Structure 1
């Protein structure tokens, strides 16, 4: 198995915690994307509301997809982790996700959690996608 590690320069560096933004199994043509959040380069939250954090996490997700030679259209699965009850935030996050994903419609799971990587993070989005072209 051949694995490529993806770490776009425009996103926070996960090396200190032993993570990559994504790993690509080049034989299978699959991209496994780490949970994307609303962090700047210093691992600090940029926005305080869930709608803005969702937009930022999706923007980071798209950056990782592109760096991985994939795209929104090649998403297979999304997992959306929300601090608290998912149902309490659906009105804010669903329109943003559907707007950003267009007609992609990957398998989607929403999970309410008690905590995420830092106390200010309200949403984290991870994904699996298919590689669109060889790395």
Structure 2
């Protein structure tokens, strides 16, 4: 829970700033339109297995793109890159690190982190717009 919370916080712009204030108006409008398109398409991109597991398109969209207007541009870029039909179809299948953590917990094994949230987050947050 700490990792998820810290990573979410690290992605956010400083208090009082919004993505709309940072991006050129035309790019912001295109981004907003694209996210509206993804929201409309998401139900058709989901697999029957995902629906069978109780995943809903609105929940999935909010889990991925929720609060996007408060995120730093680099994190929005990464988010947009993951909002494809192919990536959506794999949601609900745990990524390897999550799977291993769940297995370790099930087996009552001790776990530790290879890297801290800050080691992932800070280098990305230091990128300039041109980078």
Give the TM-score category using the shorter length: under 0.3
Larger helix share, 1 or 2: 2
Greater relative contact order (Cα 8 A, min sep 6): structure 1 or 2?
2
TM-score when normalising by structure 2: 0.23
